[in-house]
Structure 1
Amino acid sequence: MKRLFQNIGWLLGGRGFNAVMSLLYLYLATHTLGIESFGYFAIIVALGQTVTGLANFQTWQFIIRWGANGDGPAEATGFAIALDMLSVAMGTVIAAAVVSTAQLWLPLPDELLWLTFGYCMVSLLSIRTTPTGLLRLRFKFATATGAEAVQPAIRAVGAVIAAYLFPTVAGFIVAWAAAEVAVAAALWIAAARDERIDLSHISLTRLPEKHPDAWWFVWSTNMSGSLSIAGKQVMILLVGTFGGAALAGGFRVAAQLGQALVTLAQTVSKAILPELVHDEKNALEMTRRMANIAVVAGVLAVVMALLFGRWGLATIAEDDFSGFYWAMVILSIAGAVELVGASLESLLVSAGRAGTAFIARAVPTVLALIFLDAAIDWNGAKGAAFAVLGSSSLAVIGFYVAILNMREIRIVVQAEPEAGSIKTGDTRAGIAPPAE
């Protein structure tokens, strides 16, 4: 637990720096572009992150899962790099299809389409989950935090330059693209210092030959990551589709301010997963403690949003964004729910139940996207925020129910060790799987 909190501390330090820089470039972007042009900017960024998220594999999880054994991470790293190459190829096809049809479903002007495609390609070529996984495998969270700080720093500097020299959507998108390239380079350099990157191990077949469940884990975590993107970036895109660029811009600001806890939840998840894999015996107790802490932190964050959210919107964004206060509060509640669920989801993944975690996340996310149009018609940005809250709540309930089921089976196995008909299977994290 001590090392876990140290790692979370490093990650939170990086997130804190990121938050300060985010407020700076959010202020510059909203005041320079205005609500409609900022909406175009938000849609382009969301589209780039959506394409990358859909194509990207969560290779950092593979490296932690298979790189922690006695053979070292070389083979897992080669598999991860091969998957990154596959991601770029898949993402290019997705980007071309999405951008070529963007005018049919997104409020983007013709002159921004090539810029949008270019940003998608830069995002794909800047995939950095593999070096991140190598650093987390060795618990180099301080090094990773320093490398990741390059992104918000470059964004902030780029936003200042754009605001004064190139006050257009293109100017801010170029700044964001430069930050993507810079942080990817920084992470690869940092990872290569501690771990030799042997390109001869690059292969899509070598590791799966030794681990038959590898491809199932690959696709399960990829789909879970895609759902996480869908719950955030695709939501912004569809808000723009159903409500226009201005609504998308306002929802983007409300989400960034109100869902800071989602970022915190991702931070907790990234820090706790290596610990759960390395310390299977105490995984349940570790998860319970983290969930309890998350409840307290979530309540405090929601109270802060209620008390200071209106002031924050008025200070950081223009007056045009003040009408998104309640959407921001609702999204902060959704962030609190996600914070509680972060350790639960990580426990399922560490126990080899990535598929269960995916299903628990998939159903609520799909429902939220299906009912988004009706939610916006009902109550605008607040309706969209309620869709996010409902999705997060149902997903966390699903994680909890799955873990309760796994614990009950573990108790049965311990109480009746002579029952040979019960399959213990993968007991990672001290949990037996459900009976077939």
Structure 2
Amino acid sequence: MRRIFQNMGWLLGGRGLNAVLSLVYLALATRTLGLAEFGHFAIIVALGQTVTGLVNFQTWQFVVRWGAGADGPARAAGFAVALDLLSATVGTLVAAGLVASAPLWLPLPEELLWVAFGYCAISLLSIRSTPTGLLRLRFEYRRATTAEAVQPIVRVTGAILAWLFMPTVTGFILAWAAAEVAVSISLWIAALKGHKPDFSQVSLTTIPRANPGAWRFVLSTNALGSLQVAGKQVMILLVGAIGGEAFAGGFRVASQLGQALVQLAQTVSKAIYPELVHAQDRALQIARRMANIALIGGALAVLVAIFVGREALVLIAGEEFRIVYWAMVILAVGGAVELVGASLESLLVSAGRAGTAFLVRAVPMAIAFAVLETAMGWQGLKGAALCMLGASALAVIGFWVAILDQARISIEFDGEEKRPAE
């Protein structure tokens, strides 16, 4: 537990810096572009992150899972790099299809289509899960946090330059793209410091040959990661498709402020996953303790959103965005739910049940997408936020039920094993 909290401390320190600087560049973007143009910006960023999230494999988990031993890091990293190259290739094709079809379903002007495709391509080339995995495998969270700090610093610097010299959607997209490239380079430099890369290990077959269930784990974690992206980025696209660019911009602001807790949940998950992999005998106890702590933190954060959120929205984004207050509060509640469920989800994945975790997330998300248009017709942005809250609540309940079932099976199995000896 001491090492978990130490690792979380470094991760949260990075998140804290990112949170503070994100308020700066969010304020610059919203106040410079206005609600409608910020909606176009939000749609382009969501497109890039959707494409990357859908095709990107969670390679950091593979490096942590199969990177033990003298040759383990090189073989695991080689497999991860090969998957990253596959992701970039497939993702470029997916991006071309999405951007080409965008005028049919998204409120995106024709002159911004090439900007959208360029941002998608740069996001794909900047995939950085593998170096992150190498750093976590060695528990070098301080070095990882320092490298990741490059992103918000470059982003806020780019936003200031865009505000001064190119106050358009394209200017701010260029700032975001530069930040993606910079943080990817920074993480690779940190991961390879003192470690010579072995390009001969880049292969899609080495790890699967040694681990028969590797491809099943790869595909299930990729699907789970894609669902996590869908929970935010695809939802922004669908909100824009149904309600227009102003709705997309408003939902982006409400989501970024209200769902800061989801980022915290991901931080908890990233810190706890390596420990759960290496301590399977105490995994359930660790996950339960983290969930109890998260419950207290989530409740406090929701209270802050309720009592301070309205003033914070106006201060950061401007009076025009006051209308998204209740959507932000609802998303904050959803973030608190995700915070509680983060350690439970990591427990399932670390136990090799990523497929179960995927199903538990997929069904509620499918329901949320199915009722989204009806919910927005009923309550606008609040309806969209309620869809996300419902999906999060059902998923966390599902994680808990799956863990209880796994614990029951484990107890029964141990009992059967012990009876003959007795």
Q: TM-score interval w.r.t. the shorter chain?
A: over 0.9
The separation in 2 between residues aligned to 1:199 and 1:46, in whole angstroms, is 33
Q: CA deviation at 1:419?
A: 6.5
Matched residue type, 1:64: V
Structure-1 residue corresponding to 2:273: 273
Structure-2 residue corresponding to 1:405: 405
Structure-1 residue corresponding to 2:157: 157
Matched residue type, 1:6: Q
Instruction: Give the conservation status (yes or no) of the 8 Å contact 1:331–1:385.
Output: yes
The separation in 2 between residues aligned to 1:204 and 1:417, in whole angstroms, is 37
Q: Among the aligned pairs, what percent are the same residue?
A: 65
CA separation of 1:96 and 1:62: change in aligned 2, threshold 3 A: same
Q: CA deviation at 1:280?
A: 1.6
Q: CA deviation at 1:383?
A: 0.1
Matched, 1:257 2:257: yes
Matched residue type, 1:113: L
Length-normalised TM-score, structure 2: 0.98
Structure-2 residue corresponding to 1:293: 293
The separation in 2 between residues aligned to 1:38 and 1:105, in whole angstroms, is 18
Q: CA deviation at 1:194?
A: 4.2
1:59-102 Cα distance to aligned partner (Å, 9 max, x none): 00000000024542111110000000000011001000000000
The separation in 1 between residues aligned to 2:238 and 2:136, in whole angstroms, is 34
The separation in 1 between residues aligned to 2:197 and 2:277, in whole angstroms, is 23
The separation in 1 between residues aligned to 2:285 and 2:194, in whole angstroms, is 31
Instruction: Give the conservation status (yes or no) of the 8 Å contact 1:78–1:201.
Output: yes
Length-normalised TM-score, structure 1: 0.95
Q: CA deviation at 1:272?
A: 0.3
Q: CA deviation at 1:371?
A: 1.1
Structure-2 residue corresponding to 1:168: 168
The separation in 1 between residues aligned to 2:291 and 2:194, in whole angstroms, is 32
Structure-2 residue corresponding to 1:415: 415
Structure-2 residue corresponding to 1:114: 114
The separation in 2 between residues aligned to 1:165 and 1:219, in whole angstroms, is 44
The separation in 1 between residues aligned to 2:12 and 2:214, in whole angstroms, is 31
The separation in 1 between residues aligned to 2:196 and 2:361, in whole angstroms, is 36
Matched, 1:342 2:342: yes
The separation in 2 between residues aligned to 1:136 and 1:415, in whole angstroms, is 36
Instruction: Give the conservation status (yes or no) of the 8 Å contact 1:134–1:195.
Output: no
Q: CA deviation at 1:45?
A: 0.2
1:262-298 Cα distance to aligned partner (Å, 9 max, x none): 0000000000000111112211111011000000000
Matched residue type, 2:156: A
Matched, 1:148 2:144: no
Structure-2 residue corresponding to 1:239: 239
Q: CA deviation at 1:233?
A: 0.1
CA separation of 1:69 and 1:358: change in aligned 2, threshold 3 A: farther
* Alignment map for 1:31-430 (pairs within 5 Å): 31-69=31-69, 71-418=71-418
1:128-164 Cα distance to aligned partner (Å, 9 max, x none): 0000000000000000000000000000000001011
The separation in 2 between residues aligned to 1:40 and 1:68, in whole angstroms, is 45
**CA RMSD, Structure 1 to Structure 2 (Å):** 0.9
- Residue 196 of structure 1 aligns to a residue whose secondary structure is coil
The separation in 2 between residues aligned to 1:219 and 1:355, in whole angstroms, is 9
Instruction: Give the conservation status (yes or no) of the 8 Å contact 1:12–1:267.
Output: yes
1:221-252 Cα distance to aligned partner (Å, 9 max, x none): 00000000001000000000000000110110
The separation in 2 between residues aligned to 1:105 and 1:165, in whole angstroms, is 32
- Residue 416 of structure 1 aligns to a residue whose secondary structure is helix
The separation in 1 between residues aligned to 2:195 and 2:241, in whole angstroms, is 45
Q: CA deviation at 1:116?
A: 0.3
Instruction: Give the conservation status (yes or no) of the 8 Å contact 1:32–1:167.
Output: yes
- Residue 68 of structure 1 aligns to a residue whose secondary structure is coil
State the number of aligned residues. Answer: 420
1:334-361 Cα distance to aligned partner (Å, 9 max, x none): 0000000100000001000010100001
Structure-2 residue corresponding to 1:429: none
The separation in 2 between residues aligned to 1:418 and 1:16, in whole angstroms, is 49
Q: CA deviation at 1:418?
A: 4.9
The separation in 2 between residues aligned to 1:187 and 1:328, in whole angstroms, is 32
- Residue 197 of structure 1 aligns to a residue whose secondary structure is coil
Matched residue type, 2:271: A
Q: CA deviation at 1:410?
A: 1.4
Q: CA deviation at 1:330?
A: 0.2
The separation in 2 between residues aligned to 1:89 and 1:340, in whole angstroms, is 36
Mark the runs of 5 or more structure 2 residues left unpaired by the alignment.
none
Query: After the TM superposition, which segments of 4 or more aligned residues of structure 1 sit over 6 Å from their partners?
Result: none
Instruction: Give the conservation status (yes or no) of the 8 Å contact 1:269–1:343.
Output: yes
Matched residue type, 1:281: D
